[in-house]
Chains A and B, each alone.
Chain A
Amino acid sequence: MNCESVTKIIPLYFYGELPPDEEDLLERHLDTCAACARQAESQRALSAALDRRAMQPSAALLAECRHDLMRAVYRQEVPILRGAGFSRGAAFSPRGTSVPRWLPSFGAWRMPLGASALLALGFIAARLTAPGAAGPFSFASLTPDNVVSSVRSVQPAHDGSQPGEVQIVLDETRRRVISGQLNDSNIQRLMLAAAHDENNPGVRWESVDLLKSHSDSSQVRELLLNRVAEDPNPGVRLKALDGLKAFTGDPEVRKVLAQVLADDDNPGVRIAAVDALTAHADDNMVGLLQGVVQKEDNTYVRRRCVKALQDMNASVGTF
């Protein structure tokens, strides 16, 4: 293997796309060739820079996309699905001008639809209440008394009312500001709930970040274990893992970290997990580490596992 051929395969090595024998040859070359080792380091730096630029669409954008999609699907549905024996199609208007009968039972879409209704209501409220009633849309004007409204239901008014009269039922939420010490049990309870807010990763991240300084509390530790294993946002998972670093000797924590190392889809989280786990030598980890070495495609994680196995005088491969 010469330097020219190494240059071509460094990106493949970095992304775990090389066959094992070629990878071995490359690693041997990197150990002896400073110029190629610098190229490998440059590839790693490029990757780290690009990782920092990774974007996660916001929950609000996803909700809007889902909402828009379902509206578009509904407009298209009659000509396509009626012929396919669609069981709920009887009430559909060809132009989508009436509310489809299935909409209220469309559970998972209800939240984005509700959010959209809220925005629409806010828009109307702003127009009705703003001085001059023609100014630009402003969220601040939606909640002059800290009340947020969403539409629960819309239906024709009861018998006896004027023709064209409708009844709109609103759910109203009042905003309150609560301050207190983190060690106050009521504050902590609210923070624990906020750390599970599935619609707002920013709130979860902040909550976990603040709570992790109280990881000596069993409830907080339970939360951190739950978030590191379950949270869909890798930033939150990393933050929770950070809060568990002082407990990497605890068997329960190690069990969860082992699961994260084996299953997490984010290499940054796996790197943090392997660092935390290998900080404490533990013979029970041998099987796990050997398994990770076999299937892991992140070079750093794999090397860390190999090193930990060597430190424990365990074999790297399985037989």
Chain B
Amino acid sequence: MAQDAAAAAGARLSPKLDEASLIRAVQRGDQDAFEQLVRAYDQSVLRLAVNLLRSQEDARDVFQEAFLRVFRSIDSFRFDCSFHTWLYRIVTNICLDYLRKRKVRKEEPAVVDTPEGPLDRMNDFEEEAAHADPERNLRNIQLGQRIEGALVGLTPRERMVFELRHYQGLRLRNIGEILGTSEEAAKNCLFRATQKMRAVLGDFQ
């Protein structure tokens, strides 16, 4: 299921090599194995970065920085946790840095006002099954504005926990492991995030 992103990635790996063999091959310097490993996870990493940072440019930077760190430090991976958890620790640390820096320099809104009306900067992305009529588009823009407002009100950590649980489908125990905290702390974070968003979004359906 969605909860097991690692299993989903595993399913995308070539049947020829299981993940552990692939990692050992990368540690021996096999570039093809690195490529295969990247491709097993890169879609979910990019999706996380795009949804979390809501900026194509930042998502590209996170993608590159994360996999380069993997490439540079894969020798230090000792199989004491799953590769998925190890990779996501790297990715979430980088994303949290981005979010914290943004908090300092004030977050750019995804929906900006233009002389032609509100423009959603995220329209460059594919929304799932998005073939909207003008009315639906307007509703989406209004919804987008309110969601952006709600997300900005979350702390970087709350936003991360919410993102990993809601959009990435990870279990809270796994999220705690990735973020170096307890399942209980992740639960509290999720509760605070949803309360804040419900307060801002109200009865929007």
Contact = CB atoms under 8 A, between A and B. Distances in A.
Contacts of B169: 265
A46 B194 contact: yes
A49 B30 CA distance: 44
A312 interface: no
Nearest to A55: B125
B127 A54 contact: yes
A233 interface: yes
Given A54-B51, A57-B46, A295-B1, A65 B64 contact: yes
A68 interface: yes
Interface in A2-49: 8, 11-12, 15-17, 42-43, 45-49
A62 B43 contact: yes
A108 B3 contact: no
Contacts of A73: 31, 34, 67-68, 71
A203 to B, nearest CB: 12
Contact of A56 (B75, B126, B165, B204): B126
A61 B128 contact: no
A72 B29 CA distance: 16
Which residue among B1, B131, B147, B190 has the maximum number of chain A CB atoms within 10 Å of its CB? B1
A54 B167 contact: yes
A86 to B, nearest CB: 4
Contacts of A65: 42, 46, 60, 63-64
Nearest to A47: B166
Interface string A214-243: 000000000000000000111100110000
Contacts of A102: 31
Contacts of B191: 8, 11-12
Secondary structure dominating the interface of A: helix
A55 B47 contact: yes
A69 B56 CA distance: 15
Interface residues of A, number: 62
B127 A49 contact: no
A222 B71 CA distance: 42
Contact of B203 (A12, A42, A232): A42
A202 interface: yes
A172 to B, nearest CB: 28
A86 B68 contact: no
Contacts of B46: 57, 61-62, 65
Contacts of B166: 15, 47, 50
A49 B198 CA distance: 11
Contact of B190 (A11, A45, A46): A11
A80 interface: yes
A69 B1 contact: no
A53 B143 contact: yes
Interface string B61-86: 00110011001100100000000000
Interface of B: 1-3, 8, 27-32, 34-36, 38-39, 42-43, 46-47, 50-51, 54, 56, 59-60, 63-64, 67-68, 71-72, 75, 122, 124-131, 140, 143-144, 147, 165-167, 169, 171-172, 187, 190-191, 194, 197-198, 201, 203-205
Interface of A: 8, 11-12, 15-17, 42-43, 45-50, 52-58, 61-62, 64-66, 68-70, 72-73, 76-77, 80-81, 84-89, 102, 106, 108-109, 201-202, 205-206, 232-235, 238-239, 263, 265-267, 295-297
